[in-house]
Structure 1
Amino acid sequence: MSHVDRNYDHLFKVLLCGDSGVGKTCLISQFTDNQIRRSHITTIGIDFKLKTFTVQGKRIRLQIWDTAGQERFETLTAQYYRRAQGILLVYDITQDATFGNVTKWLRNIEENAVDDVKVTLVGNKLDLDQQQGQRQVTTRKGEKLAKQHKCQFFETSAWSNTNITEAFTGLTEQILNSAEQRIGSERSESKLVLTSSIKSSVQQEPHGSSWCCG
């Protein structure tokens, strides 16, 4: 199927992980459907949504996987790490324990994901700090941890739709840049192999041959 037929240039798989209740499903709902989940429904195992949008002039389709945060589902979700080109690791800025568990999630990513996976750290529920002062995890803590692990960092709110598009777009840009660099490298290698093959064929042509016509 051609790019025109499928109406997008790249398909990327993005995984959301983090403790249960940090707002992963709400972030996805706001990004894909512009809707707020007003009641909390715990994700069981794995769910996913699709979103097609334009990044750097390319039509990108994201397959966004929503994982359950409970420990009993970790074995089930481990296989999805290996399929993901990007991961949004989410914690709740009003629950310090969810930030403390980020280290565990980063370890899961390191053990199960591909080597060049792109990771963005997200501190969610920013509206509860802005409106109700419930913050337990400072912005500086989040920025510091993200810097240590060389990943992007955003604070978001599904309720007020703050920085959600920016977080998904920032992650997608990293994946896209990596993919296009890889494609460019593969094309260069193919061109080099083809050039070498042509040169080899030319060198093997017999010289000084003569033709007679009778």
Structure 2
Amino acid sequence: MSSSFNYDYIIKYIIIGDTGVGKSCLLLQFTDKRFQPAHDLTIGVEFGARFVSVGGKQIKLQIWDTAGQESFRSITRSYYRGAAGALLVYDITRRDTFKHLTTWLEDARQHANANTTIMLIGNKSDLEAKRAVSTEEGEAFAKANGLFFMETSAKTSANVEEAFVETATNIYEKIQSGIFDIHNEAHGIKIGPMHTGGSSLPTGPANSGGACCQ
């Protein structure tokens, strides 16, 4: 379809956090608008993509959903490089997943670009009766570490769209202000065919992951 080539930027995201917090479900809800409760554990990484409109620009989000198990941590780390956005996810019903955020954030700070936009997500907000981490605690952690924050439900889709789009909006603002060098693909941003300020780039590799995203 011709519409698949009409975009201004490709932006790479990664989704990180403990196993079982709903990372794959968030990705599926965002890309396919459906919820799959019985989701197999992610082995290594999974990939999804979707177009969003930000600031009048068409942006293709390439999203890498990483495995939460410790045994895959070395694989996960390799995907931090070249990520313009990261969704750091915990489960509001499992306090241990919240306690582990510090370790995940340390990994992200060490291996990702210093300007990577990080959105902290407290997932499973539909399970209010089982809540183990308060909204205020999530907000405080985000504020203390310079992160955006949102509670979501991959099941009901509450705030899922907003989490991805708000992250993209911040990244686009960084592009506009020159914080991200769009000519350096290591920053996780690639110029698309519709970009008025640059030449068209090949779209084939981008649709299957893209050289900038390895």
TM bucket, shorter chain: 0.7 to 0.9
The aligned runs of 1:154-169 (5 Å cut-off) are 154-169=150-165
In 2, the alpha carbon distance for the partners of 1:171 and 1:184 equals 14
1:177 to 168, 173, 176: 173
Structure 1: which amino acid aligns with 2:137?
K
Cα deviation, residue 179, structure 1: 1.4
Task: Give 1:43 shift.
Answer: 0.3
Distance 1:111 1:42 in 2: 25
What residue number does 1:92 align with?
A: 91
| Equivalent residue number for residue 195 of structure 1 | none
Residue 39 of structure 2 aligns with an amino acid whose one-letter code is H
- Give the alignment of 1:42-53 within 5 angstroms: 42-53=41-52
For this pair of structures, how many residues does the alignment match?
A: 182
Q: Which amino acid aligns with 1:104?
A: T
Q: 1:136 aligns with which of 106, 111, 132?
A: 132
- Structure 1 distance, partners of 2:143, 2:20, is 25
**Runs of 5+ consecutive residues of structure 2 not aligned to the other structure:** 183-214
CA radius of gyration, larger in = 1
CA drift of 1:6 comes to 2.2
Q: Percent identity?
A: 44
Give the structure with the higher percent helix: 1
Q: 1:21 to 1:183 in 2, by over 3 A?
A: closer
Listed as ranges, the gaps of 5+ residues in structure 1 are: 187-214
Which region of structure 1 is more displaced relative to structure 2, 52-61 or 117-126?
A: 52-61
Pairing 1:1-214 to 2, within 5 Å after superposition: 6-129=5-128, 133-182=129-178
**Which residue type is aligned with residue 20 of structure 2?**
G
Structure with the bigger RCO (C-alpha within 8 Å, sep 6+) is: 2
The two structures, once aligned, show a CA RMSD in angstroms of 2.1
Secondary structure, counterpart of 2:126 in structure 1 = helix
Alpha-carbon distance, 1:40 to partner: 2.5
